[in-house]
Amino acid sequence: MRLDLRPILHVPGASLPFDFTLDLSGLDFYGERPFAHPVRITGAVRNMADALLLEGSAETTLELVCDRCLKPFRQEMHLPVSTLLAETLEDEENDEIVLLDNGEVDLDEVFTTAAVLNMDAKHVCSEDCKGLCPTCGADLNEGSCGCKPERDPRFAALAQLLDKENE
Ligand SMILES: [Zn+2]
Ligand SMILES: [Zn+2]
């Protein structure tokens, strides 16, 4: 959605609210499409006398796959977004400011960029997820699989450290 800011461009104190849904279902992250549900975008652009301030949030439920146990899981996303807008850039190097196009701001672009930058590279269904057995592939969250006794994870970490030092 594009928001026409011309009604507030020269009116200090004025603001324009926005509230719409964004379809990001086509966004691909390493073969996964976490934005399966519409993203609700709300907020407002406010004329702060010498600056235009956009403040809003993007909310949705992400459909993710756990990197450890490979199970799909859902995670709520509440992403606050705040950025300055300007009709022209005084400093060409400043990429923190979003430039208006004919007095309009491209909200789709602002919030799509924010959502992409916010995505973690790694996802785990829970910090306690035990993952899969490297030997038989069983989900260790559902109990031990009967492969050779697991090493105490503290010793496993120590062994890894020692292995590294020996390289
Ligand atoms: Zn997991
Ligand atoms: Zn196993």
> Over the stretch 79-109, which tens digit does the pLDDT of each residue have?
999 999 998 877 666 678 999 999 999 999 9
Are 60 and 114 in the same domain?
Answer: yes
Expressed in angstroms and rounded, the spacing between residue 31 Cα and the centre of ligand 1 is: 18
Find the ligand nearest to 135 CA: 2
Which residues sit opposite 84 in a β-bridge? 53, 97
Mean pLDDT of 143-156: 75
Residue 143 lies in a domain: yes
Are 57 and 81 in the same domain?
Answer: yes
Mean pLDDT of the chain: 90
Q: Which domain holds residue 76?
A: 2-118
Find the ligand nearest to 128 CA: 1
Are 98 and 26 in the same domain?
Answer: yes
Find the ligand nearest to 134 CA: 2
Are 163 and 93 in the same domain?
Answer: no
pLDDT at position 49 is: 85
Is pLDDT above 80 for 130? yes
Please give the C-alpha separations between residue 58 and each of 1, 35, 55, 81, 161, in angstroms, as whole numbers.
14, 12, 11, 8, 41
Residue 64 lies in a domain: yes
Are 98 and 139 in the same domain?
Answer: no
- Residues of the chain with pLDDT > 70, as a percent, come to 87
Are 159 and 96 in the same domain?
Answer: no
pLDDT at position 96 is: 82
C-beta contacts of 75-82 below 8 A and 24+ residues apart: 75/123, 77/39, 77/115, 77/118, 79/114, 79/115, 79/118, 80/55, 80/56, 81/43, 81/54, 81/55, 81/56, 81/57, 81/110, 81/111, 81/114, 82/53, 82/54, 82/55, 82/56
pLDDT at position 119 is: 93
Are 48 and 111 in the same domain?
Answer: yes
Residue 126 lies in a domain: no
- The secondary element (H helix, E strand) that includes residue 57 is strand 52-65
Total domains in the chain come to 2
Are 57 and 103 in the same domain?
Answer: yes
